[in-house]
Chains A and B, each alone.
Chain A
Amino acid sequence: MTAAYRPGPDAGVTVSDDGQCVYVAHLPGGPIVVLEGAAALIWVEATTEPATGWVARVAEAFGQSEEVIAADVAAFVADLGARDLLVTAPTEAPGTPG
């Protein structure tokens, strides 16, 4: 079982103890990007397995329907991707033990 996304190969990540903040550093030179609130939640769910239904989990956390938030979530993930902070996780080959 894998997550939908994983940190980029040159990204360092620290999640605050309360889960409210995610700090992502471009390595080796910086800067540090701070994700708060909804942004932090999207990061955590996007990088947490299983990949299936991760947007629905975000929607549920905010009490919204998936259709309402999907476009914003996709745009945000695309922005993180453009910064090389988040990359699509490789899908497992069929039959790979989860």
Chain B
Amino acid sequence: MATHEATEAPAAGATVPLEVRIGFAHACLQWIADRCGADLLHVKGAALDPTLVPGRGFSDADVLARPEHVRMLLDELRHHGWELINSFAYGSSFEHSATLRHSDFGLLDLHRIYPGTGPTPGRAFDTLWAERTTRVLGGVECAVPSRDAQAALLLLHAARGGSDPKAAHDVDWVWTTADQARRARILDWVERLDAGLGFSVITGTLDDHRDDPAYDLWRVASRGGTRMDEWRARVRAAHGLRAKLTVASRSVLVNVEHLTIVRGRPVTRREIVAEFFGRPARGLREQVARRARGSRATGEREQ
């Protein structure tokens, strides 16, 4: 009888499609959350309502946890075979998610914040949680935001996508081709989630928010920028001097977790030191290159 354990590599034909593994990642998270009493919402990817963007692919599982339950979930995940490969501080300029990996279920992004939502992470979660629905993933009933809330969240994600064709496709499907009634429902969620700044990228009105401390974060995320631009934006968006200093100091520390993944093995002290000096140098080189390009462009315009 053809029964294979997919973890047994030699079993011919016992391959498991990525989307099946990711479905099980969601199922695993829900299993753990149900047993430890954590609230979480499955977002994007396999959890996305398939009628929003038909045929949309995905490569990992994303879940948004109630902020005060994040620590407990991280501890539980580690007990069940999930390995932390990127912590919140180093995940992205929004410092919103940690990435974990499981040998059977693949990659997971555990979000403590959904970038662009507010006014606080806790209140944003409550707003989404209050109108949650369910979707069966990997055979387990998982909590997901309502369909219109999913549309708003997907657009906020696309707003950070820069020139990514997938992000442009999402905006086309969910916003550009939407009728007035559907847009109104999405905008209602944007308002309820205090997501006006991030959503202004979608409506092309980001520059109306120049005075917002998080404006630069969205400008760099949506239009691109150097590593230096990104860190400057992170410092500006951090609340209070202490937080700003913490972000600034992190900009020159080495993300050992990430470096371990890049190298595919534990990194040596020597490599950490090399990376420490390499990162600011890379940032400087990018800045110099950008200025050089700018000067050339100015020179060309002046000629």
Contact = CB atoms under 8 A, between A and B. Distances in A.
> Do A and B interact?
yes
Given A12-B139, A25-B138, A32 B24 contact: yes
B272 interface: no
Interface in A28-62: 28-40, 42
Interface stretch (B12-20, B114-122, B239-247): B12-20
B21 interface: yes
A84 interface: no
Interface in B130-183: 138-140
Contacts of B140: 12, 27
B28 A31 contact: no
Given A12-B24, A25-B24, A32 B5 contact: yes
Given A28-B80, A36-B2, 9 more contacts: A14-B20, A16-B20, A25-B139, A28-B28, A29-B81, A29-B104, A32-B21, A33-B3, A76-B3
Interface in B1-47: 1-8, 11, 13-17, 20-21, 23-24, 27-28, 31-32
Contact of B104 (A13, A31, A39, A42): A31
B245 to A, nearest CB: 39
B3 A14 contact: no
Interface of B: 1-8, 11, 13-17, 20-21, 23-24, 27-28, 31-32, 80-81, 102-105, 138-140
Contact of A23 (B1, B13, B16, B32): B16
Interface residues of A, number: 27
A35 B21 contact: no
B139 to A, nearest CB: 4
**Interchain residue pairs A-B with the least CB separation, the first 5:** A30-B104, A13-B139, A12-B27, A36-B2, A12-B138
A39 B16 CA distance: 16
Contacts of A3: none
Contacts of B28: 12, 25, 27-29
A31 B138 contact: no
B24 A14 contact: yes
A34 B24 contact: no
A12 B28 CA distance: 8
A79 B3 contact: yes
Nearest to A40: B2
Contacts of A29: 28, 80-81, 104
